[in-house]
């Protein structure tokens, strides 16, 4: 099948866009990751775009697009976004002194919507997907004469994202491999294009969320192919920033040309990577930004024989409401958080005896529920649901054994006796 020609995005366009990017964006730092380096047997650095202004790489593309409009930008801009692109467009518009409207899905992060409003944009909530929001934004742009700033499918936006690739080449002289989150393809296309123009020996790998991974089918078909399933893809993955239903017509051929490999990671792997980055590197990274680290942890990446691997942490705008359960889940898997369900005789003092036993074993009690109704219990029996903090899996096993040795009917990891 004949492939569509790649849009006019090359090293010259990326270098030209850099000046506009540098007026509003910062050069983000690189951090060593000992844990990921041990995993691949080589040096791994983290490119912390989560520390970028507005919390993600998106500010680069938005700034470049606004600059490309010149005086026409005075008509204002309209964007569609699950959060990061909207914040970037709002910030760039405020810096340029122009109006900005952003259409966001109904299920978009409240924190991201509020941040977008705080940057001066008018936010419209509606639609169940980015595709629907793009239709609404396009209609609004046609109605008002404002300019649509696409989150990825625009040569100017891709060129702006490519400025990150220029930074990587300058910051890492022995650069050998780059792992890039892959949603609509703007970031991967821009970085791949920049690196191909300066260091064609460097490999670029795009990383998708398996729950929303349209690139494999699209690359095979030679045209953008939509993910089959739910329209509201952001609801099925914690990597909502790359939950794009289909690649862009502009970005697909660029990704095919400049990205050497595409892999996908699942939700468990993404969650573990988020916690690793928080715990070991002290970096708050959203699900979409953590997929590169997840690919390394999952063993999906073959390390280069020599040189440095860079993982692009594309954003850090994560809801605390999501971060908390991700951390709790990790603590449970690591044996540092434990749930117990116990049946005890419904007699005075039995609950105190159980809690004394738990305390003597060195576990810390987080919550306790004494349950008398709604469970399949004997007439003279009650149930107790406990959440405990333990040191590790071995300690958790010892706590469970101590309770059973004391005569309590205790089960681990269960909410009900059924």
| Domain contains 287 | yes
pLDDT at 2: 44
pLDDT at 320: 80
> What is the rounded CA–CA span in Å between residue 92 and residue 395?
51
Say if residue 147 is in the same domain as residue 212: no
| Domain contains 166 | yes
Say if residue 33 is in the same domain as residue 63: no
Q: Is 383 left (phi over 0), alpha (psi -120 to 50) or beta?
A: beta
Report CA-CA distances (Å) from 334 to 217, 265, 273. Answer: 36, 20, 14
Say if residue 180 is in the same domain as residue 268: yes
Contact 374, 385 (CB under 8 A): no
Token pair listed for 135: 């239709």
Say if residue 167 is in the same domain as residue 316: yes
Which of 287, 309, 327 is where one domain is finished?
327
Say if residue 340 is in the same domain as residue 400: yes
Q: How many domains does the chain have?
A: 3
Say if residue 149 is in the same domain as residue 66: yes
| Domain contains 418 | no
| Domain contains 6 | no
Say if residue 138 is in the same domain as residue 34: no
| Domain contains 1 | no
Which of 283, 298, 327 is where one domain is finished?
327
Report CA-CA distances (Å) from 290 to 165, 241, 276. Answer: 18, 11, 9
pLDDT at 333: 81
Say if residue 172 is in the same domain as residue 321: yes
pLDDT at 129: 78
Say if residue 143 is in the same domain as residue 170: no
| Domain contains 139 | yes
| Domain contains 217 | yes
Say if residue 22 is in the same domain as residue 50: yes
pLDDT string in tens for the chain (418-residue length): 344 455 679 999 999 999 999 999 999 999 999 999 998 899 999 999 999 999 999 999 999 999 999 999 999 999 999 889 999 999 999 999 999 999 998 878 888 899 999 999 999 998 877 888 999 999 999 999 999 999 999 999 999 999 999 999 999 999 999 999 999 999 999 999 999 999 999 999 999 999 989 998 898 888 888 886 544 444 478 998 898 888 999 999 999 999 999 999 999 999 999 999 999 999 999 999 999 999 999 999 988 889 999 999 999 998 888 888 888 888 888 878 889 998 888 888 888 999 999 999 999 999 998 777 656 677 678 888 999 999 998 999 999 999 999 999 898 875 444 4
Which of 155, 182, 212 is where one domain is finished?
155
Say if residue 219 is in the same domain as residue 178: yes
| Domain contains 4 | no
Token pair listed for 166: 């220029």
> What is the rounded CA–CA span in Å between residue 11 and residue 16?
8
Q: Can you give the residue range of the structural domain that contains 105?
A: 58-155
Residues 269-303: b if buried by 16+ CB within 10 A, e if exposed? bbbbbbbbbbeebebbbbbbbbbbbbbbbbebbeb
CATH of the domain at 109: 3.40.50.1100
Say if residue 349 is in the same domain as residue 235: no
Q: Is the pTM of this model over 0.75?
A: yes
């Amino acid at each position: 099948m004949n492939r569509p020609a790649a849009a006019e995005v090359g090293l010259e366009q990326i270098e030209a866009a850099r000046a506009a990017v540098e007026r509003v964006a910062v050069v983000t730092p690189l951090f060593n990751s000992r844990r990921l380096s041990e995993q691949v047997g080589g040096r791994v650095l983290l490119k912390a775009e989560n520390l970028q202004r507005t919390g993600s790489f998106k500010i680069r593309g938005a700034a470049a697009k606004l600059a490309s409009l010149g005086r026409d930008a005075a008509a204002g801009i309209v964007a569609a976004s699950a959060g990061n692109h909207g914040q970037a467009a709002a910030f760039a518009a405020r810096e340029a002194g122009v109006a900005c409207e952003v259409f966001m899905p109904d299920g978009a992060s409240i924190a991201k919507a509020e941040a977008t409003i705080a940057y001066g944009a008018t936010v419209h909530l509606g639609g169940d997907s980015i595709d629907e929001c793009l239709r609404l934004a396009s209609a609004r742009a046609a109605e008002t004469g404002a300019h649509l700033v696409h989150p990825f499918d625009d040569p100017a936006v891709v060129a702006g994202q490519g400025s990150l690739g220029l930074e990587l080449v300058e910051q890492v002289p022995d650069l050998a491999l780059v792992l890039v989150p892959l949603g609509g393809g703007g970031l991967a296309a821009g970085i791949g294009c920049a690196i191909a123009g300066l260091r064609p020996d460097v490999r670029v790998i795009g990383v998708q969320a398996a729950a929303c991974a349209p690139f494999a089918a699209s690359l095979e078909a030679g045209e953008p192919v939509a993910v089959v399933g739910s329209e509201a893809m952001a609801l099925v993955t914690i990597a909502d920033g790359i939950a794009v239903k289909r690649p862009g017509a502009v970005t697909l051929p660029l990704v095919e040309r400049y990205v050497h490999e595409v892999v996908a990671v699942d939700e468990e792997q993404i969650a573990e990577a988020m916690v690793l980055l928080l715990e070991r590197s002290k970096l708050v990274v959203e699900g979409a930004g953590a997929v590169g680290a997840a690919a390394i942890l999952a063993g999906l990446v073959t390390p280069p024989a020599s040189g440095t691997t860079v993982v692009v942490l594309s954003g850090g705008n994560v809801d605390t409401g999501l971060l908390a359960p991700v951390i709790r889940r990790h603590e449970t898997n690591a044996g540092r958080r434990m749930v117990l369900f116990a049946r005890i005789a419904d007699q005075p003092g039995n609950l105190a005896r159980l809690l004394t036993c738990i305390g003597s074993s060195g576990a810390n009690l987080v919550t306790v529920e004494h349950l008398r109704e709604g469970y399949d219990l004997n007439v003279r029996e009650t149930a107790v649901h406990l959440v405990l903090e333990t040191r590790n899996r071995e300690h958790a096993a010892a706590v469970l054994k101590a309770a059973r040795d004391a005569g309590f009917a205790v089960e681990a990891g269960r909410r009900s006796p059924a």
